Amino acid sequence: MKLWGGRFTKEENQLVHNFNESLSFDQKFYAQDIRGSIAHVKMLGKQNIISTDEMNQIIKGLEGIKEDIDNGTLQFSKESEDIHSFVEANLIERIGDAGKKLHTGRSRNDQVALDMKLYTRDEVVEINGLLKTLLSSLLNVIENNTETYMPGFTHLQKAQPITLAHHFGAYFEMFKRDRDRLDDIYKRMNYCPLGSGALAGTTYPLDREYTAQLLDFDGPTLNSMDSVSDRDYIIELLSALSTIMMHLSRFCEEICIWNSNEYRFVNIDDSYSTGSSIMPQKKNPDIAELIRGKTGRVYGALTSILTTMKGLPLAYNKDMQEDKELTFDAIDTVKGCIVLFTGMIDTMTFNKDIMEASTKHGFTNATDAADYLVNHGVPFRDAHGIVGQLVLFCEEKKIALDDMTLDEYKAISPVFEDDIYNAISLETCVNKRITIGAPGPDAMKKVIKVYKEYLNK
């Protein structure tokens, strides 16, 4: 039985039904649909739009449906068009005439707007929590590695010495901002569309403040046309999820590089690696690659909904049903990726000696050698040229700046003295960098304190 069968004289074509239905995917928010219906019915009862007895019958019926779906005794029948039709039909089957009053003063348009909001709102909270766990894992690495030296790169060329703590700290900042974005979206989306009807509100004396309160919203939405056609919050969410994936993907790319045979900065744990069916020696970073790969489908969801929405006249249009599958997929993908990524970080080990050796043999202290000259009165541009000559000399001899003799230094510039060795040692290069946000351990320790307070909030 269709909810809307009254004015029709022909049965729906089966292909039309299959094309039109959304139950196969909107069953995912059956719990939210029922929660919304219970709030609606409580309000109808409070406003004397239905009797208390009818209200109680409906609530009991809805709770029964929820329980039966939860424990698997009630299966979603293929005949229902969507979750809203399914629940209502089932309610009427269970409690009879009272069930026919559930949809008083409501449309599937405000209902679906509500369900999707309730569902995504829960997910925003869950993803935020997963990011918090990831941040704790990162902080663990950061705290233990404020003096683990590694090269910092620009253009993927060794640039200046940093620490592992500092590198991970950069990602801490990114994922922290990702959490802020989710908080922000939550605040903006947290208004209840229920009671907007099909598009123009209703003539019943609904108490929209009350339903909003029952459903933990900050209040009702203020324009019924906007309420049933707003999908901005989904776009914002998919944009935030895309940014999370972009951050994860960059980190994964770095882990793939660090894990490569050439770098060997890190060892991904066996439990987070896979092998090759033909090459027995292989241990591949599949998880990091797959997270990098899955970024594409989350971006796809964002592009898809933006495109779906761009030409829609107000108010509700069926096009909007397309918001669900891709959003659900993006949410599940992001949650999976964060969990797997966190596990990979927790079990990964670092080859600190290799990282340090790489820092020493990449002229990462060349800027500090130039700064040494500047501190002895040489203009920076000249100092830059002199150190360039030192690098050329070292490259020819296949040595590091630290390995040059003082005579060799003096042959290029007489300004150099014995204290150059201390000035360009890795420890000095890093320890001297103590401005806010720099890698020096003293600067990092202050930041770590801020991070700890942030995670304890």
Q: Which residues form the catalytic set? A: 155, 276
Tokens of 53: 């007895």
Q: Which is nearer to ligand ARG, 307 or 422 (CB)?
A: 307
Q: How far apart are CA 327 and CA 19, in angstroms?
A: 19
Beta bridge partners of 161: 151
Part in contact with ligand ARG (CB under 6 A); list of ranges 105-113, 231-239, 299-307, 397-405:
105-113
Instruction: Answer whether 55's CB lies under 8 Å from 44's CB.
Output: yes
Under the binding rule (CB under 6 A), the answer on residue 106 touching ligand ARG is: no
- Exactly one of 321, 347, 367, 425 binds ligand ARG (CB under 6 A); that residue is 321
Under the binding rule (CB under 6 A), the answer on residue 114 touching ligand ARG is: no
Under the binding rule (CB under 6 A), the answer on residue 117 touching ligand ARG is: no
First to last CA, the chain: 52
Cβ neighbours, 10 Å, residue 219: 12
Burial class (CB in 10 A: 0-12, 13-18, 19+), 114: buried
Under the binding rule (CB under 6 A), the answer on residue 243 touching ligand ARG is: no
- Exactly one of 39, 42, 69, 82 binds ligand ARG (CB under 6 A); that residue is 82
* Helix (H) / strand (E) containing 160: strand 157-163
Under the binding rule (CB under 6 A), the answer on residue 158 touching ligand ARG is: no
Q: Which is nearer to ligand ARG, 181 or 324 (CB)?
A: 324
Task: Give Cα 344 to chain centroid, integer Å.
Answer: 17
Q: Which is nearer to ligand ARG, 312 or 400 (CB)?
A: 312
Using CB under 6 A as the binding rule, the residues of this chain from 301 to 320 that contact ligand ARG are 316, 318, 320
Helix (H, G, I), strand (E, B) or coil at 169: helix
Binding track over 174-213 against ligand ARG, x by CB under 6 A = ----------------------------------------
Q: Which is nearer to ligand ARG, 320 or 344 (CB)?
A: 320
Instruction: Answer whether 243's CB lies under 8 Å from 310's CB.
Output: no
Packing angle of the helix pair 323-347, 232-259 (nearest 10 deg): 30
E strands within 272-424? 349-350
Binding track over 7-46 against ligand ARG, x by CB under 6 A = ---------------x---x--------------------
Task: Give Cα 335 to chain centroid, integer Å.
Answer: 8
Q: Which residues bind ligand ARG (CB under 6 A)?
A: 22, 26, 82, 108-109, 112, 316, 318, 320-321
